[in-house]
Structure 1
Amino acid sequence: MDEKDWNVLKILYEEKNISHTSERLYVSQPALTYRLKNLEKEFGTPLFFKVKGGVEFTSEGAYLAQYAEEMINHLQKTKDYMSNLQGEVRGTLRLGVSSNFAQYKLPKILKKYSLQYPNVQFNVNTGWSTDIMKLLDSSKVQLGILRGNHDWYGEKQLLHKEKLCLISSEEVDIEKIQDLPFINYKTDSSLDSLIKGWWHDRYSRPPLVTMETDRQETCKEMVKNGLGIAIVPEICLEPSDNLYNYELFYRNGDLVERNTWIMYNEDSLRLSTVKNFIKFLNDHPEI
């Protein structure tokens, strides 16, 4: 059993489908099936069985798939440390970054970092902060940039604080917005809780939700066209939006803010790629 077999088992366990697995691996289905049969022969036991629409793993197959993922992670860490031993900043930096930060901040950061460290490659996963936490927990990324407050047993640094803003296409009285059409969008639980917490603190009735969108940008376009109000992080607002925006305050006068964190395991600091990237973020707060 080698690295190729580990990847086959890992992806098949994720997909639960021979056809989808062969597409991801860029191999033919007969070649994939042949390799899987050889694995079953090697271990002397069935690893999976066919079901409607795909396959399911036996208990032995599930155990072997877990072992394969552990070996892939171990091999990647070994490659990282071997690159680190060469005495210069080189190798692959594996990042997990929340979607908003990835869209509005990350491209400029990576471009500027690349100019300073041209021998570093990037492997970037983006998603909601809860998804990035899972990647950190499983060591699939070396460093996470997450928004909101999350429990983390490793190291964390506050990168910056960000305001939440109510946006509208025309002026509004923020004390009288309960009856205005409110536009919602899908987001992670931490931001959703922050918005609901502020509203509950200020008003006795829930917002008059008239639209639910799948993306923050879609929500913003609806607001631009006068279809309602919304609450968004300041990061997504540009002067060219031509929107009225209002900072949010709790009744006690505190500003509503959201934290952005850098999170990593202490062991990751042994890698020059990670150590220098953290230093770069701290040295360039303006980006």
Structure 2
Amino acid sequence: MDERDWLVLQTLYHEKNITNAAKKLYISQPALTNRLQQMEKEFGVRIVNRGRRGVQFTPQGEYLAKCADDMLLSLQRIKENVLNMEDKITGTLRLGVSTFFTDYKLPGLLKLFKDEYPDIEFKVVTGWSNEIVHFVHSQDVHVAFIKGDYSWKEGKKLLFEEPICIASKEKIAIEDLPELPRIDYHTDQMLQTVIDNWWAENYSKPPLVSIDVDKAGTSKNMVANGLGYAILPGMILSDLEDIYKVAIKTKDGQPITRKTWMFFHDESLQLNIVRAFVEFVESLDLEKIN
């Protein structure tokens, strides 16, 4: 079996559907089925059964699909080590990036790095910070950008801190918040906990949520149009000048902030591509990147 076969197994295991897997792999359904049949012939076992509910893996197929993750990661590391034997900064940099950082900082950062190292390619996975922490722990990514104070004992760099702000179109009194329409949004659990704890410390009534949206960016746009207030990280609000913003504070008057970290494994710095990227990020003032 070659790398493509392992990728077929991995993709089909995730999709559980021949049609969807073929689309993701950019091959035809007959071509995918043929490769699957060749694998079954090579191992002398049935790998999948097809039924009304899609593809179901046999016990032998389950085992091979789980092996696919390890095989593909091993092949990736072999390629990286071979490229690392050269002096050039080249190859594919695997990044795990929190949702907020992806929307507001990542494009500008990657452009600057690509300008300096044109032979670099990127493979980026995005998600909530708690998901990205898992990716860097399992070494599925070289470098992770995390929001919040997650436990990490290896290489890390504090990139910046941002205030958590109440934002509204017009000036409002903080003591009136329970009576005013709030625009809520889906976010990672750590930020949600910070906001909920602050609210519980200051108010005995629940917030008056008038609109609930999927993303912080949508919430920001609602605020800009005067539909209510929202409690948002300061970075998201940086491009809005004509709105009222006030940072929330603890009972003793300390600003409540959210930290953005860069995480990486110490051993990954042995790779030229990772070391160059980490040093590049450390040299920048990310708060000035749009």
TM-score by length of 2: 0.94
Name the stretch that deviates more: 1-10 or 122-131.
Answer: 122-131
Cα offset for 1:84?
1.4
Alignment check: 8 A CA contact 1:165 1:234 kept: yes
User: 2-side partners of 1:278 and 1:60: how far apart?
Assistant: 41
Cα offset for 1:225?
2.0
Name the stretch that deviates more: 17-26 or 108-117.
Answer: 108-117
Cα deviation, 1:164-212, whole Å, max 9, x if unaligned, reads 1100011111122111111100111111111111111222222111111
Q: SS at the partner of 2:158? A: strand
Equivalent residue, structure 1, for 2:190: 190
Cα offset for 1:241?
4.8
User: 2-side partners of 1:158 and 1:225: how far apart?
Assistant: 34
User: 2-side partners of 1:110 and 1:255: how far apart?
Assistant: 31
Cα offset for 1:139?
2.1
Q: SS at the partner of 1:231? A: strand
Q: 1:236-247 counterparts in 2 under 5 A?
A: 236-247=236-247
- Unaligned residue ranges in structure 2 (runs of 5+): none
Letter paired with 1:108: G
User: 2-side partners of 1:259 and 1:105: how far apart?
Assistant: 14
User: 2-side partners of 1:213 and 1:81: how far apart?
Assistant: 44
User: 2-side partners of 1:266 and 1:217: how far apart?
Assistant: 34
Q: 1:1-287 counterparts in 2 under 5 A?
A: 1-285=1-285, 286-287=288-289
Alignment check: 8 A CA contact 2:157 2:282 kept: no
- Unaligned residue ranges in structure 1 (runs of 5+): none
Q: Number of aligned pairs?
A: 287
Alignment check: 8 A CA contact 2:162 2:235 kept: yes
Compute the RMSD of aligned alpha carbons: 1.5
Letter paired with 1:216: A
User: 1-side partners of 2:241 and 2:77: how far apart?
Assistant: 44
Percent identity of paired positions between Structure 1 and Structure 2? 42
Alignment check: 8 A CA contact 2:183 2:219 kept: yes
TM-score by length of 1: 0.95
User: 2-side partners of 1:220 and 1:214: how far apart?
Assistant: 11
Cα deviation, 1:29-87, whole Å, max 9, x if unaligned, reads 12211211221122122212123231121221111011111111011111112111111
Alignment check: 8 A CA contact 1:202 1:250 kept: no
Name the stretch that deviates more: 10-19 or 119-128.
Answer: 119-128
User: 2-side partners of 1:15 and 1:240: how far apart?
Assistant: 41
User: 1-side partners of 2:135 and 2:276: how far apart?
Assistant: 21
Q: After TM superposition, which residue ranges in structure 1, 4 or more long, deviate above 3 angstroms?
A: 238-241
